Structures are given as structure tokens and as C-alpha cells.
Structure 1
Amino acid sequence: MTSRSPPPVRRHVELEPSPAQASALTPSTPALTIDAVSTHEIQRWMSQIEQCLNDICTISGDGKLNTEQKLKISNISRQEFAEVRSEFSDKLESVSKTLNDQLGEFTKTIEAKNLEIAFLKTSVTNLQRQLAVHEQNSIKNELEIVGLPEYDNENLMQITSIMCKKIGVDLNEQDVDEVIRVGPRNLHSSDSSQRKWPRPVVVKLLRRRTRDEILKAAKSRRNVTSEHVVEGPPKNVYFNERLTKENRTLFREARQWCQRVLSFKFCWIRNGAVHIRQSENRAAVRLQSIEELDQKIGHEPDG
């Protein structure tokens, strides 16, 4: 009869995390480890057991064993299988416990990393808002004149001064730091000297009080045009607060939402901030991001 082989040699292996899990781990994160048995060793062990059983069957089949010997062999076979079953059962229980323990630690690590990521996202959002406020404050002395026809070789300082006179404000050159057109140059109209789509005029003032005076005067005088200011047919001209790119986008989105969500009737800019209000007897709400539209106005209607 073939002698029983020694039990397989155990190896210590590490279970690698998946790519998704690995992205949340740091070098200090523990890896999952278990004691494993090589497949080759198990196959060799099972092959020897099978050979032993074949030898038993051969001897039994030849009728060379008496009843007592057959019983003894049967008991040996049962004992062999019982030991194999016990070995594998112990091994599986050990592996299962090790995995459960280390998966528990692994889960705790992932949860801690998720909390850290959430905290970092909140910090980044707060920093972005602070940066946006700082950027808006940096242009608090500026205003835009929109709709003013654009010509080559124009004197923007003189044109701006005349436009301010039309709304009742005397603007001196000493009050102005710079007057420029902003944005990409547009195509010419049929008149080769006039731009088809005029770019806005940015007036950079030295004092915020002067800017507020101009905006207040423009608000009280509607339907201001370019008549007697520049050549060509009169065009509607508007005085607006200067906004950052992010606030312009937010203002545009807020106006579109208020038009679709009929319960909100008012949307305006005050000191570089976007405000909305449902009705005249309701309090105004300040918006700081596009995400707040869904929170403070509500879900966009279907269709």
C-alpha cells in the first residue's frame, strides 16, 4: 500500500486590491494576507491518496483479504478521508476567518479614506468660492457699456463721457483709469469701418462711488440709445456691473431658470452677486453657484 504523503507546505501570499480600491489606498494601507497552499501540492497529495485507494481496491478485488483485513482496510480508508476532510475544513475555516478579519480592516480603511476625500472636496469648494469672491472684488470699480456701436479708431474716453452725460452724470477723465473694448474682434458690417457685433466697453474707474453713481443714474433712465454719440442708426445702450466669467454664467443660468420656473419673477445683480426673488413681498435669495439653483429654486420642470 502506498504510504501517505506529508501535508502540503503552506505559503504566505498577499491579495492585491482591485484598481478601484487601490486608488483609495495610501502606502500605509495594510494589504490582505492569507496562508495558502499551492495548487501543485494539493494535486500531488490527492494523486497519492487516489493511488493508495486504487491499491486497496486492487487487493480487495483479488480476493486476497479476509473479512478482518477488509474491515481494517475500510477503516483505514475512512480514516484517510476523514483526515483529508478535516485538513481542508480547518484550512477553509482559517482562510475564511483571516479574510473576514482583514476585509473588515480593509473596509474601515476605505471608509476613512472616503471621509477624507469628502472633507477635501468640501475644502476645495470653499476655496473656490473664496477665490471667486476675491476675483469679483478685484473688478468692483468697473462697469460695462453694452450695445455701443464699434468703429475703427474710436475715442472711447470721449464716447463714454458723452454717454454718461446722457444719463445725467458728469464723468471727468481724472475719474477713469482705463476704457477698453473686451472680447474677440468681430466681423465688419457692410460699412467697412463699423463692427457687425460691437464688443462691450469696460470702464475702469478709480473709485467705486463713481461707478455706483453711474449705475444708479442708468437704472433710473431707461431706453438710452447711441443717438448723437456715434454715427449710424441709434442702438439701445446698457450700463451693467462688470462680472467675472463664472458670475456671468451664473446670472445667465439663473435668469433662464426663473423664466422656466414661473414662481420666481425677479433675478438681478447687486455688487457682483446674483440674487433671485419669488415675488415683491418675498425675501431675496443670493446665489453663489449653479448647484444652488436646484436647491433654492427647485428642480427644472419637465419639457
Structure 2
Amino acid sequence: MKPSTSSATGNTQQSPTENDNRKPPPSPLKDNITSIETRLMDYIGQKFDALSVNLADFKSSVNSQLETLSNTVATFEQRIRQLEFKTTELSKQNEENPEITSLNNTISSLHEQLNAQDQFSLRNELEISGITEAENENLCHIIATTAQKIGVKISEDDIDMINRVGTRHDTNNQPSTTQSRPIVVRFIRNSKRNEMINARRVRRNLSTTDIDLKGPQNTIYFNERLTKTNRKLFRDARMRAKEFGYRYCWVKNGQIFIRKEGQKYAKIIRNERDLNELQSGQSFK
């Protein structure tokens, strides 16, 4: 028998070099990914181009609006300067115009006369502060007791009106000096009011303990009732008096007085002009 050969059996094996040179078949998945990446990059590029255009338009719009605003501001500033100039000129003309000056003086005089009339209507009224406010208080009894302590005899016939004035504070039914409103007493006669004030000056240490009121001991003060204008004027006068060396500042019969230590006569403060004369050193009666 003849020996069989490997070629005859059909089992001939290829060399490793031939197997390595063979290319793998194309992958559909890879082609799809590449296509998606390409389309995505094109889309992103288009969006960036559109955004660049929008930013350029926005920048141009903002610059245009800023320019318009700047021009508007410049116009307003020019108008303001013109108005300030006109106002200054008008003020100068008013100061130089005797008719306007006379009119202003007349208006000021009328205000002072009205204030004087209002003050005269308060000539019988006494303002008492420092008395603790309480619910269901008997003001007539409190005032009668206070008057008795300073040696003044009063009756209900002497009193025309009595009440607390000012904004009411919620004290939660607890006595409070800081929240107590002042008491205003309108007497029938001015002489009785003045008698109360003079007696209080003698009894300097009058307090709520002296009239048997509950709560902390508080000093009781008597003052003439003043108009709103005169209250402010009196407050300013006290400040100016302290500033310019006037030791005394007080109210009597609705008029405000100041006096330096050693001076024989007091000065009357009727208005703001009198206060300004204190500062300038001018003398007035």
C-alpha cells in the first residue's frame, strides 16, 4: 500500500502570515456613531454661529440704548442747571423787590398774630406732667390733692375742664411714668392758674409720693400750656440759651424770656428772628 499524503486528504493548513493580512468586515455600528458625531458637530457649530450673531445684535442694541440714555441724562442736567440759574435770579429779584419783601413781612406778621391769639386762648390752662396714668383715675381728686399739698385751695367751681392730652399708650393696666400723658387743667380764672404755678415754685420737691399715688416716686412738674409754635420756639430758645451763655430761660403768661447771669433785664423771644439775633450778638427788646 502507498502511504497517503496530506494534500490528498484536503487538510492542508494555511500559514499564519496569510491569516493576519485578512481585513475584518466593516461594522455598521461604527458607521452610525461616526455619522451621529458628524451631525452633532454640525448642529453645535450652527448654534454657536447663531449665538454669535445674537450676541453681536444684543451688544449693538445695548450700546445704542446707553447712548440714548446718556444723551437724555445730559439734556436733563442742562435743564436742571437752567432751572437753578432761573431760581437764583428770581430769589435775587424777590430780595430786591420791596413789594415782595413787604408781602413776606405781612405774612410773617399775620402768623405771629394768629399764634398770639391761640396762646391767649390758653391763658387759663395748666399742664401737669409726671403723674402716673391709671385706669379709672379720678383726675379732679388728683388735682385737688396736689393743690392741697402745695397750699392752694381749689374746688370743682374753679375748674372748667380737666383731661389728659396726647396719644394714649397701652400700659397693660400697669403704672408707667414714661408712658403717662400730661394732665391739662383749664381753670375758670387765670389768677387761680397762676396761683398754682407760683405755689409749685415754692414747693420744689413735689412728687407722686406726696399725693399718695402708687408706683415709683416721680417729680411733678407744672407748666403753662403753650401752642405748638411756642413749644417749638421754647425748645429752641433753651438750646440757644445754653449755647450762647444765657443761664435762665422761662415762660410767663405765654411769653418766652431769657437772661444771662448778672443781667438786670430779660430778653423776650417772640420768633425765630429773635433767636438769630442771639447768635449774631444783636440787641433787642
TM band (smaller chain):
0.5 to 0.7
Task: Please report how far the alpha carbon of residue 223 of structure 1 lies from its aligned counterpart in structure 2 after TM superposition.
Answer: 1.1
Does the 8 Å CA contact 2:126/2:222 hold for their aligned counterparts? yes
Q: How does 1:24-103 map to 2 (within 5 A)?
A: none
Task: Please report how far the alpha carbon of residue 282 of structure 1 lies from its aligned counterpart in structure 2 after TM superposition.
Answer: 3.2
Deviation readout 1:246-286 (Å, 9 max, x if unpaired): 11111111111112222x11111110110011123331000
1:209 equivalent among 183, 191, 201: 191
CA distance in 2, matches of 1:111, 1:223: 54
1:218 equivalent among 174, 183, 200: 200
Q: Which residue of 2 aligns with 1:192?
A: 173
Task: Please report how far the alpha carbon of residue 116 of structure 1 lies from its aligned counterpart in structure 2 after TM superposition.
Answer: 1.5
Q: Which residue of 1 aligns with 2:222?
A: 239
Distance 1:113 1:258, change over 3 A: closer
The normalised TM-score by structure 2 is 0.63
Q: How does 1:1-303 map to 2 (within 5 A)?
A: 20=86, 114-188=97-171, 192-195=173-176, 196-227=178-209, 228-262=211-245, 264-298=246-280
Q: Which residue of 2 aligns with 1:42?
A: none
| C-alpha RMSD over aligned residues | 2.4
Task: Please report how far the alpha carbon of residue 297 of structure 1 lies from its aligned counterpart in structure 2 after TM superposition.
Answer: 4.4
Task: Please report how far the alpha carbon of residue 111 of structure 1 lies from its aligned counterpart in structure 2 after TM superposition.
Answer: 7.5
| Counterpart AA for 2:244 | V
CA distance in 1, matches of 2:187, 2:217: 26
Does the 8 Å CA contact 1:159/1:229 hold for their aligned counterparts? no
Deviation readout 1:78-126 (Å, 9 max, x if unpaired): xxxxxxxxxxxxxxxxxxxxxxxxxxxxxxxx68992221111000011
Does the 8 Å CA contact 1:146/1:238 hold for their aligned counterparts? yes
The normalised TM-score by structure 1 is 0.59
CA distance in 1, matches of 2:129, 2:95: 52
Does the 8 Å CA contact 1:163/1:229 hold for their aligned counterparts? no
From the two aligned structures, give the one with the greater helix fraction: 2
Distance 1:111 1:154, change over 3 A: closer
Aligned-partner SS, 1:282 = coil
Distance 1:153 1:294, change over 3 A: same
Task: Please report how far the alpha carbon of residue 233 of structure 1 lies from its aligned counterpart in structure 2 after TM superposition.
Answer: 2.0
Distance 1:173 1:120, change over 3 A: same
Aligned residue-pair number: 194
Gaps (5+ residues) in structure 1? 1-17, 25-109
CA distance in 2, matches of 1:162, 1:144: 16
Does the 8 Å CA contact 2:129/2:222 hold for their aligned counterparts? yes
Deviation readout 1:18-62 (Å, 9 max, x if unpaired): 9859x97xxxxxxxxxxxxxxxxxxxxxxxxxxxxxxxxxxxxxx
Aligned-partner SS, 2:98 = helix
Deviation readout 1:214-270 (Å, 9 max, x if unpaired): 1111111101001143211221001111111111111111111112222x1111111
